[in-house]
């Protein structure tokens, strides 16, 4: 009987170790997931601050803000050709 009790105790200890390892892996996985989520939010917010640029039509390699051009391309070309 003594041998079966010690075998049973060893089996219980192994199960506890497996459960502990599973819990640890879940915590590590959750921490990694939270870190990736935070990093993604940081990257997304930094991209909003950047102004999208484009080559300025007719201006030999100069760059202008894309939104400024798209909002009023007629005015851009009017200014480019000096007609007001």
Q: 20-55: per-residue pLDDT in tens?
A: 778 888 999 999 999 999 888 887 766 555 688 999
Place of tokens 């049973």: 8
Query: Quick one: 64 and 26 in the same domain?
Result: no
Provide the domain count of the chain: 2
- Is the domain of 83 the same as that of 72? yes
Cα separation, 76 vs 84, in Å, equals 11
38 and 79 belong to one structural domain? no
Looking at per-residue confidence, does 6 or 22 come out higher? 22
User: How many Å apart are CA 84 and CA 20, to the nearest integer?
Assistant: 76
Owning domain of residue 69:
51-84
Q: Is the pLDDT of residue 3 over 70?
A: no
Model pTM score: 0.39
């Amino acid at each position: 009987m003594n041998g079966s009790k010690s075998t049973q105790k060893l089996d219980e200890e192994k199960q506890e170790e497996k459960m502990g390892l599973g819990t640890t892996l879940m915590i590590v996985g959750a921490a990694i997931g939270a870190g990736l989520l935070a990093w993604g939010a940081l990257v997304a917010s930094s991209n909003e601050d950047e102004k999208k640029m484009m080559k300025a039509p007719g201006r030999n390699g100069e760059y202008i803000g894309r939104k400024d051009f798209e909002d009023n391309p007629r005015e851009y070309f009017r200014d480019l050709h000096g007609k007001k």
